[in-house]
Amino acid sequence: MQKILLPLALCAAALPSPLLAQPSDAEIAAMRDAALEGDTLAYEITEGLTTEIGPRLAGTEAEARARDWAVERLTGLGFSNVRIETFQMPTWVRGAETAEIVSPYPQAMHVTALGRSGSTGEAGLRAEIVAFETIEELRAAPIDSLTGKIAYVGHHMEPAQDGSGYGFAGPARWNAPSLAAERGAAAIVIRSVGTADHRSGHTGGTTWADGVTPIPAGALSNPDADNLERMVALGRPVTMHLTLTPQWIGDRESGNVIAEIPGRDPEADIVLAACHLDSWDLSPGVFDDAAGCGIITAAAHRILESGVQPRRTIRLFWAGAEEVGLFGATAYFERHGADRHAVVSESDFGADRVWRVEFALPEGASGDADRMSRLLAPLGIPRSNIPATGGPDVRILVRNGAPAIDLQQDGTRYFDLHHTTNDTLDKIDPAQLRQNVAAWIVMLAVMANNDIATMTAQTAE
């Protein structure tokens, strides 16, 4: 018996360890190209979630149905450890919303309440508009100078591939309502933070400084904002009747949905792929962010279906309550912040093609970045020198030492749709969606099989 066992032992020693085995570039390229040509799962998930559930405002019954839908779908696809991790969150819901110029040029305008807006009450309020071209002008206005008035803040957001216009225009939504309240305004309307020319307001959350009582806050569609600015420029006082009746309904349950492909090395760090399950309530939330959930799931499913178990566990993180304050991200960190993450990444910028890749990896993973760049090049995805920062739901992990990769999507038309009634399934370009899946396959296949012992520890040093 010993004469037989010894040669077998020597042969086994000559083979690579199964924990170090990696798919070849050719094998990854084959999965990439198959998805590029024929993936349908990302679209099916996007279509199913937005058709069968629709808008999914955090803390509502619709978001709860979306979690159950996700669990059933992910389980049916063969993922392991599929579960909901619940948490409680304060919940705001929309009410009536109308705006009308009552003098000197009577006509209706299209407005939508910003998240966390205060209420006018059912009767609404009527007041003179005080217009500011920029948030800086509003900030310079004296305290109490807007008592009893409706403030208006305008800004013009330009489309950009990298979405950089959002950083310029965003403060008008994030901060201007609180600034107006501090200056005594009865309410505020802003030009929508978006690039669309349709008559649909862009919602989104606003924030209130400590001690500031929220006032009614709405976003006018861009064409209506243009019209209001023309009225103000004519030099006569402009009066608006505004009705916004949102309300807080107390703490409600939200939750994250988790699914995994278990790795063959139980000691290896986790590869985390994120999207967010919730949406604003104005639309089915296709670009923001049902498509992101479709993309990451379809990519992971290709690896699952390959039959080759990855070295690292791939964890899908469908975050809840992203839009209303990153409650799902916080809950995930509280529960899993101590887990070692080899890399974190998120798809949350629509469904158009990935146009560049960014890395924030430890020095020992430079070979993985080089390899990934080679495999992404046929997809038209160059490597950027800008470091990855992670998407909204994983950024807290990056700030606490997790490596990150950003597969940056083309945002040229994203803010035409973002947070509006027009974020609907017909906006999906299937070929661009497949290119996203192909890019994510490359990232997951490389990072779930590399042989670095502990990525997080190297980052923290």
Residue 430: C-alpha distances to residues 52, 56, 125, 248, 279 (Å): 20, 23, 46, 38, 21
Query: What's the full length of the chain, in residues?
Result: 461
**pLDDT value, residue 310:** 97
Domains identified in the chain, total number:
2
| Same domain membership, residue 426 and residue 310 | yes
| Same domain membership, residue 216 and residue 255 | no
> Which of the listed residues 245, 264, 287 is the one where a domain comes to its end?
245
**pLDDT value, residue 313:** 98
| Same domain membership, residue 439 and residue 292 | yes
| Same domain membership, residue 133 and residue 217 | yes
195 half-sphere exposure, CB direction, 13 A CA radius:
17
| Same domain membership, residue 229 and residue 150 | yes
Task: Read off the pLDDT of each residue in 21-47 and give the average, rounded to a whole number.
Answer: 96
Does residue 460 surpass a pLDDT of 90?
Answer: no
Establish if 9 belongs to a structural domain: no
Task: Read off the pLDDT of each residue in 127-141 and give the average, rounded to a whole number.
Answer: 98
Q: Cβ neighbours of residue 162 under 8 Å, at least 6 residues apart?
A: 408, 411
Task: Read off the pLDDT of each residue in 278-294 and give the average, rounded to a whole number.
Answer: 98
Domain span holding position 160: 95-245
Per-residue model confidence as pLDDT tens digits over 323-354: 999 999 999 999 999 999 999 999 999 999 99
Closest CA to 187 of 231, 238, 126: 126
Structural contact between residues 439 and 252, judged by C-beta atoms closer than 8 angstroms: no
Establish if 280 belongs to a structural domain: yes
Q: Return the CATH number at 236.
A: 3.50.30.30
Closest CA to 274 of 341, 206, 352: 341
Q: Return the CATH number at 292.
A: 3.40.630.10
- Reading the block at residue 387, the tokens are 């470091």
Q: Write down the pTM of the prediction.
A: 0.94
Closest CA to 200 of 428, 423, 411, 352: 423
| Same domain membership, residue 172 and residue 265 | no
Q: What share of the chain in percent tops pLDDT 90? A: 92
Establish if 363 belongs to a structural domain: yes
Establish if 11 belongs to a structural domain: no
Does residue 38 surpass a pLDDT of 60?
Answer: yes
> Which of the listed residues 245, 263, 296 is the one where a domain comes to its end?
245
Weakest mean pLDDT among 351-355, 364-368, 420-424: 364-368
- Residue 104: asked if its preceding bond is cis (omega within 30°), the reply is yes
Per-residue model confidence as pLDDT tens digits over 42-99: 999 999 999 999 999 999 999 999 999 999 999 999 999 999 999 999 999 999 999 9
- Reading the block at residue 360, the tokens are 């924030």
Structural contact between residues 99 and 189, judged by C-beta atoms closer than 8 angstroms: yes
> Which of the listed residues 225, 245, 265 is the one where a domain comes to its end?
245
| Same domain membership, residue 374 and residue 426 | yes
**pLDDT value, residue 371:** 97
- pLDDT-derived band at 2 (thresholds 50, 70, 90) equals very low
| Same domain membership, residue 189 and residue 276 | no
What integer best gives the mean pLDDT of the chain? Answer: 94
**pLDDT value, residue 162:** 96
Does residue 4 surpass a pLDDT of 50?
Answer: no
Does residue 452 surpass a pLDDT of 90?
Answer: no
Closest CA to 242 of 359, 377, 364, 148: 148
Task: Read off the pLDDT of each residue in 391-409 and give the average, rounded to a whole number.
Answer: 98
